[in-house]
């Protein structure tokens, strides 16, 4: 099985504080891995290391074959990180937002239409400004932007936050659909009830270390 | 064209189109910045209530009004990037920073140029300046070259202040001293173009040359520094 993420003894520092104290993690293509742990455990830091945003101080790491110690910027084009904000332009419509992200990577209009269709933001919502969307609709618009960017590793930080039950159901279906299309998902959450049902593997993070794993 | 240059071109076009589309949709330039600069020009006219003085200082007033209005445009340009974390998302996505810098600079230049044309028209009416045909050519050349410099420096400092706390007050403090050479060069060149205080048209071209040097320096510095700056 193809290895997408491989972290070995990774130490990462945030403002002189060791956010990760020697993490070992392997993620294979097609997995949905849930990083579970209390606030401040290091879940977001793992995502940021995988996205090439946080440098590795010690240990070794690679994402999709790219060495994170030497070429961490190169991995960003293949990775989609969705944090607490959605990265949308609130005064642009849904179509204009997705088209903008598509145009930064040279994706076609057809890819834009398909991504919007998959996220169910085509039709009436397509011409609504992002500022007028609900939290769930904004999340779907952000995910459509990840799709048109052709991200093959999705890193999601508290993806269910702010969504109602219907929105959470939709998000789960979207992630499963993304995985069946060849993507790999790593999500961080301290709310596990719903995420456990979705994940193929749960990895416990605590104090900047992996404290356990269950399938 | 190399692969990197193609990416830079693609990202620049996407960013300039997006920024101008946001302006077209929100009409902040038309409904807020333009009236603001009009008020500045009228207030100057009230303060210096003398046609002779107004004609003499009109070039400086036009460029001061441009710089004050530019602060609003630059803040606005980066406020839309930070409202929902779009600038972070661009960085996270590994979007070519040089492309972002060029795209945002171009969008800023287009908006500034539109504003300057409006300010010139106001100066012609309110301050009764009467440039010759050569004076108009020199004025447009000054506007074009000064705007290129202002676009680069505005984007560079806008990016610098984008993530900072208290950026509304930080930006004027950082930006206004940096654009002082443009204010001086553009004012002298426009004085020559307007014939203010008996200045000759030929006296303006060396100042336009200086503005071109300034534009080149800030373009080069911005191209090199913008990426590491937004990375921080």
pTM over 0.80? The answer is yes
User: pLDDT over 90 for what percent of chain B?
Assistant: 68
Chain B residues inside the 8 Å CB shell of A89: 18, 22, 80, 83-84, 86
Phi, psi of A3 (to 5 degrees): -85, 125
pLDDT at position A118: 84
Question: How far does the CA of residue B11 sit from the closest CA of chain A (Å)?
Answer: 5
CB contact under 8 A, A104 and B84: no
B9 in contact with chain A, both atoms CB, cutoff 8 A: no
B88 in contact with chain A, both atoms CB, cutoff 8 A: yes
Chain B residues inside the 8 Å CB shell of A101: 93
Which residues in B9-48 are b (16+ Cβ under 10 Å) and which e? ebbbbbbbbbbbbbbeebebbeeebbeebbebbeebbeeb
The arithmetic mean of pLDDT across residues A65-87, rounded, is 88
User: d(Cα B11, Cα B21) in Å, to the nearest integer?
Assistant: 15
pLDDT at position B163: 67
**Residue B201 reports pLDDT greater than 90:** no
pLDDT at position B199: 79
Chain A residues inside the 8 Å CB shell of B85: 83-87
Angle in degrees, 0-180, between the axes of helices A94-105 and B3-26, rounded to the nearest 10: 160
pLDDT, mean over chain A: 89
DSSP helix/strand/coil, A126: helix
Helical spans, DSSP H, in chain A:
43-50, 94-105, 109-118, 135-148, 165-180, 193-198
Residues 6+ apart with CB under 8 A from A25: A5, A6, A7, A10, A46, A203, A210
B45 in contact with chain A, both atoms CB, cutoff 8 A: no
B85 in contact with chain A, both atoms CB, cutoff 8 A: yes
Number of residue pairs across A and B with CB atoms under 8 Å?
74
Question: How far does the CA of residue B217 sit from the closest CA of chain A (Å)?
Answer: 27
- Domains in chain A with CATH codes: 3-214 (3.40.50.300)
DSSP helix/strand/coil, A32: strand
Which of B28, B89, B162 is the best mutation test for A, with the most CBs of A within 10 A?
A: B89
Nearest to A85 among B26, B84, B94 (CB): B84
B92 in contact with chain A, both atoms CB, cutoff 8 A: yes
The arithmetic mean of pLDDT across residues A68-85, rounded, is 88
Q: Which residue has the higher pLDDT, A180 or A15?
A: A180
Predicted ipTM of the assembly: 0.87
Domain that holds residue B215: 3-231
For B47-83, the pLDDT digits (tens) are 887 778 888 899 999 999 999 999 999 999 999 998 9
User: pLDDT over 70 for what percent of chain A?
Assistant: 99
Nearest to B21 among A92, A101, A138 (CB): A92
User: d(Cα A97, Cα A142) in Å, to the nearest integer?
Assistant: 9
Q: Which of A91-100, B13-22, B134-143, B189-198 has the lowest mean pLDDT?
A: B189-198
B141 in contact with chain A, both atoms CB, cutoff 8 A: no
Other CB atoms within 10 A of residue A78 CB: 19
**Residue B232 reports pLDDT greater than 70:** no
**Residue B3 reports pLDDT greater than 80:** yes
Q: Which residue has the higher pLDDT, B177 or B164?
A: B177
**Residue B165 reports pLDDT greater than 70:** no
Two structure tokens written together for B77 = 């340009």
Chain B residues inside the 8 Å CB shell of A87: 84-86, 88-90, 92
Nearest to B18 among A86, A100, A138 (CB): A100
Two structure tokens written together for B177 = 């001293």
Q: Bridge partners of B216?
A: none
DSSP helix/strand/coil, A85: coil
DSSP helix/strand/coil, A128: coil
**Residue A209 reports pLDDT greater than 70:** yes
pLDDT, mean over chain B: 91
Q: Are strands A201-206 and A32-36 parallel, antiparallel or unpaired?
A: parallel
- CB-based contact A31:A200 (threshold 8 Å): yes
Q: Are strands A79-82 and A153-157 parallel, antiparallel or unpaired?
A: parallel
B200 in contact with chain A, both atoms CB, cutoff 8 A: no
pLDDT at position B10: 95
For A107-148, the pLDDT digits (tens) are 999 999 999 998 888 889 999 999 999 888 898 899 899 889
pLDDT at position B129: 85
DSSP string of chain B?
--HHHHHHHHHHHHHHHHHHHHHHHH-HIIIIIHHHHHHHHHHHHHHT--HHHHHHHHHHHHHHHHHHHHHHHHHHHHHHHHTTTHHHHHHHTT--HHHHHHHHHHHHHHHHHHHHHHHHHHHHHHS-----HHHHHHHHHHHHHHHHHHHHHHHHHHHHHHTSTTHHHHHHHHHHHHTHHHHHHHHHHHHHHHTGGG--GGGGHHHHHHHHHHHHHHHHHHHHHHHHHHH-
Q: Is A213 exposed, middle or buried (0-12, 13-18, 19+ CB in 10 A)?
A: middle
**Residue B1 reports pLDDT greater than 70:** no
Other CB atoms within 10 A of residue A21 CB: 16
Question: How far does the CA of residue B60 sit from the closest CA of chain A (Å)?
Answer: 35
User: pLDDT over 90 for what percent of chain A?
Assistant: 48
**Residue B125 reports pLDDT greater than 70:** yes
Which of A73, A78, A89, A143 is the best mutation test for B, with the most CBs of B within 10 A?
A: A89
Helical spans, DSSP H, in A5-74:
43-50
Number of H helices, E strands in chain A: 6, 10
CB contact under 8 A, B93 and A104: yes
pLDDT at position B170: 84
For B85-114, the pLDDT digits (tens) are 898 889 888 899 999 999 999 999 999 999
User: d(Cα A118, Cα A79) in Å, to the nearest integer?
Assistant: 19
CA-to-CA dists, residue B3 to A50, A64, B90, angstroms:
25, 21, 19
The arithmetic mean of pLDDT across residues B185-192, rounded, is 95
- CB-based contact A91:B25 (threshold 8 Å): yes
User: d(Cα A73, Cα A49) in Å, to the nearest integer?
Assistant: 11
Q: Give the total number of structural domains in chain B.
A: 1
CB contact under 8 A, A149 and B11: no
For A144-193, the pLDDT digits (tens) are 998 898 888 999 998 887 777 877 887 888 888 888 888 899 999 876 77
Chain A residues inside the 8 Å CB shell of B90: 87, 104
The arithmetic mean of pLDDT across residues A59-67, rounded, is 93
- CB-based contact B159:B151 (threshold 8 Å): no
């Amino acid at each position: 099985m193809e290895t997408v993420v491989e972290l070995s003894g990774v130490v990462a520092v945030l403002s002189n504080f060791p956010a990760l104290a020697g993490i070992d993690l392997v993620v294979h293509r097609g997995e949905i891995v849930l990083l579970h742990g209390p606030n401040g455990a290091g879940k977001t830091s793992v995502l940021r290391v995988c996205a090439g945003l946080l440098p590795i101080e010690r240990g070794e790491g690679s994402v999709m074959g790219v060495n994170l110690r030497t070429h961490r910027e190169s991995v960003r084009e293949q990775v989609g990180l969705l944090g607490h904000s959605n990265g949308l332009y609130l005064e642009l419509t849904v179509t204009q937002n997705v088209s903008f992200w598509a145009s930064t990577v040279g994706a076609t209009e057809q890819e834009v239409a398909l991504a919007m269709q998959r996220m169910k933001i085509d039709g009436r919502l397509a011409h609504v400004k992002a500022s007028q969307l609900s939290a769930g609709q904004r999340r779907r618009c952000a995910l459509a932007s990840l799709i048109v960017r052709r991200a093959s590793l999705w890193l999601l930080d508290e993806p269910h936050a702010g969504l109602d039950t219907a929105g959470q159901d939709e998000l789960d279906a979207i992630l499963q659909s993304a995985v069946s299309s060849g993507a790999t998902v790593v999500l961080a959450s301290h709310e596990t009830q719903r995420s456990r049902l979705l994940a193929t593997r749960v990895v416990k993070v605590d104090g900047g270390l992996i404290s356990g794993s269950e399938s | 064209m190399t692969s990197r240059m193609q990416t830079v071109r693609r990202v620049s076009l996407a960013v300039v189109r997006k920024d101008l589309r946001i302006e077209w949709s929100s009409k902040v330039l038309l409904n807020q910045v333009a009236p603001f600069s009009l008020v500045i020009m009228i207030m100057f006219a009230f303060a210096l209530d003398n046609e002779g003085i107004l004609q003499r200082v009109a070039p400086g007033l036009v460029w001061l009004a441009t710089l004050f209005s530019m602060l609003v445009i630059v803040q606005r340009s980066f406020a839309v990037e930070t409202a929902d974390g779009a600038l972070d998302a661009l960085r996270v996505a590994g979007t070519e920073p040089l492309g972002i810098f060029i795209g945002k600079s171009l969008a800023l230049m287009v908006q500034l140029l539109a504003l300057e044309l409006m300010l010139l028209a106001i100066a012609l009416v309110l301050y009764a300046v009467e440039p010759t045909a050569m004076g108009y050519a020199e004025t447009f050349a000054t506007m074009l070259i000064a705007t290129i410099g202002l676009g680069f420096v505005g984007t560079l400092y806008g990016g610098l202040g984008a993530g900072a706390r208290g950026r509304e007050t930080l930006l004027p403090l950082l930006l206004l001293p940096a654009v002082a050479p443009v204010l001086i060069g553009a004012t002298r060149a426009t004085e020559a173009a307007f014939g203010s205080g008996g200045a000759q048209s030929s006296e303006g071209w060396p100042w336009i040359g200086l503005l071109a040097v300034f534009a080149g320096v800030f373009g080069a510095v911005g191209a090199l520094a913008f990426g590491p700056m937004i990375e921080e």
